[in-house]
Chains A and B, each alone.
Chain A
Amino acid sequence: MTGSAIEVAGLAKAYGPVMAVESLTFALGSGRVLGLLGGNGAGKTTTLAMLMGLLLPTTGSIRVLGEDFLRHRYRVLERINFSSPYVDLPHRLTVYENLRVYGGLYGVRSIKARIQKLARDLDLEGLLARPYGRLSAGQRTRASLAKALINSPQLLLLDEPTASLDPDTADRLRSYLRDYQKASGAAVVLASHNMLEVERLCDDVIMLRQGRLFDRGAPALLITKYGRETLEEVFLDMARGRSQL
């Protein structure tokens, strides 16, 4: 499949006898937004970690931005980035220093200008000189997102990007992400428990249950398919094992 940002086939991850992810196959086209839905332990973070190269799959193949990711991930890592509330940035470095360091790691040119732009866009200008460890949870989420966007990635992996944000900031952040995605043509994978967020941002959704692909489709199609009114109701049906066609 040409034009795919991600192609995953037969992906599985086993921890001893426990299958964290099993037989996962999907593709994500360039410029599309894919939501990963599932309860705790459904395999979302494991899948994201394999897409970032932080975790080696037990079996299966991953192609990212046209490259065999398991063999040549360094060819594409400069064009990927991620944000997760569960992975911190160095606490003692200021936001500016953190962004400078990551700009260096990703080979960003005109790093000062890039940091200033992200600071303006994400309302971080007053926080650049503050150590990351002294930020509130919401401020950390924005700083982490700035790090995720530092290299203008073609593939952005987001694990609960609006966790810890107040509704107003979360809403503005979603608008920003949507605008960024449309302007850059980046592909985005979004793992979230916020169903409204998924409905608003995602073109396509993968529903995971116990490490397996449960269903996939556009949010509106899934809602229709399961005869529900919201994606949250579909999710609850899946999580509680009562979804039937």
Chain B
Amino acid sequence: MSRSLWASVRRVGAMIERYVYLLKGSWPRIIELAYWPTMQIILWGFLSEYLVHHSSYLARASGVLLAAVLLWDVMFRGQLGVSVVFFEELYSRNLGHLFASPLRAYELASALFVISLLRTLIGSGMAALFAFWFYHFSIWRMGFVLVAFFMNLLVMGWAIGLVVAGLVLRYGLGAENLAWAAVFALAPVSGIYYPISVLPHWLQIVAQILPAAYVFSAMRALFFHHIIVARPLWEAGGLNVVYLALGLSLFLRTFHNARLHGRLLNLGE
């Protein structure tokens, strides 16, 4: 490994260490990570049990709703893991120290990805364990393709998280509510609980540019037809590469603009 690459890895590691300290220093934060996904699972679990006995559609694929809830949560947690963790630097007025150090903006983004993965594994993992214990539903019954679903949704969450972080860097903490709103704005067109064919034609076009719509389509194919369709997952992966690159570009661009307008010293609560 070259010296500069090693130095870069070391800086990313230091930032991960910073976020791990933050997480382990506050047990309410760890509980909060698992609380919302678990509540979702409880709610949708009971609804699912009821519908399985009253709907021929769901009776064919019990667990599809729970799988959808869990996977949707991956994207939501992935997004929050980038944007909300980035907000911590603004809350603590720490950006000046960070960017006067040798830390590059893309290294910060890399650390945010790693911590987002960790937070998502904790939050969604606890919810998945709960679903198994309470409803005897195992997310792992999807098999190895679960990794492809998980990674596609996580990366889409990262891309959205970078856009939100960039907008907050540009417009200040007044824009932080975007972190909660951004993913939900995409929920109706992502085909989480229904095929996108039920959408009006123009919304189907929107859905076709969202990686999540491909993932949930593949998930339904797995549950209802017991087949793994690889093509939508590759398409989702391709779109994710584009969106992640766009998200990173926007983040780096707003970082450059923040240096131009002196916001790195002024942003904060």
A26 close to chain B: CB less than 8 A: no
State which of B25, B101, B262 has its C-beta within 8 Å of the C-beta of A77: B101
Q: Using Cβ atoms and an 8 Å threshold, which residues of chain B touch A54?
A: 96, 99-100, 259, 262, 264-265
Number of chain B residues close to chain A: CB under 8 A: 33
**Which residue of A has the minimal Cβ distance to B257?**
A56
Asked whether B7 lies within 8 Å of A107 as measured between CB atoms, the reply is yes
Asked whether A45 lies within 8 Å of B17 as measured between CB atoms, the reply is no
Asked whether B10 lies within 8 Å of A82 as measured between CB atoms, the reply is no
Instruction: Give Cα A82 to B54, complex, Å.
Output: 66
User: Which positions 1-43 of chain B face chain A at CB distance < 8 Å?
Assistant: 7, 10-11, 13-15, 17-18, 21-22, 25-26
For the A-B complex, the count of residue pairs with Cβ-Cβ distances under 8 Å equals 101
Q: Using Cβ atoms and an 8 Å threshold, which residues of chain A touch B260?
A: 55-56
Asked whether A101 lies within 8 Å of B100 as measured between CB atoms, the reply is no
Q: Using Cβ atoms and an 8 Å threshold, which residues of chain B touch A91?
A: 92
Q: Give B254-269 as 1s and 0s: 1 = Cβ < 8 Å from A's Cβ atoms.
A: 0000011110110010
**Which residue of A has the minimal Cβ distance to B88?**
A90
Interface SS majority for chain A: mixed
Q: B259: shortest Cβ distance to chain A, in Å? A: 5
Instruction: Give Cα A224 to B118, complex, Å.
Output: 63
Instruction: Give Cα A67 to B263, complex, Å.
Output: 25
Q: Which of these binds chain B: A2-10, A92-100, A186-194?
A: A92-100
Q: Give A81-95 as 1s and 0s: 1 = Cβ < 8 Å from B's Cβ atoms.
A: 110101111111110
Q: Using Cβ atoms and an 8 Å threshold, which residues of chain B touch A52?
A: 96, 100
Asked whether B102 lies within 8 Å of A106 as measured between CB atoms, the reply is yes
User: Which positions 39-58 of chain A face chain B at CB distance < 8 Å?
Assistant: 45-46, 49, 52-56
16 new A-B contacts at CB < 8 Å, known A53-B99, A93-B22: A49-B264, A55-B259, A55-B264, A74-B102, A77-B102, A87-B97, A92-B92, A93-B25, A97-B18, A101-B15, A101-B21, A102-B14, A102-B97, A104-B13, A105-B98, A105-B103
CB pairs A–B below 8 angstroms (17 shown): A52-B96, A55-B259, A56-B259, A77-B101, A86-B265, A87-B96, A88-B97, A88-B268, A92-B25, A93-B22, A97-B18, A104-B10, A104-B17, A105-B11, A106-B101, A107-B7, A131-B25
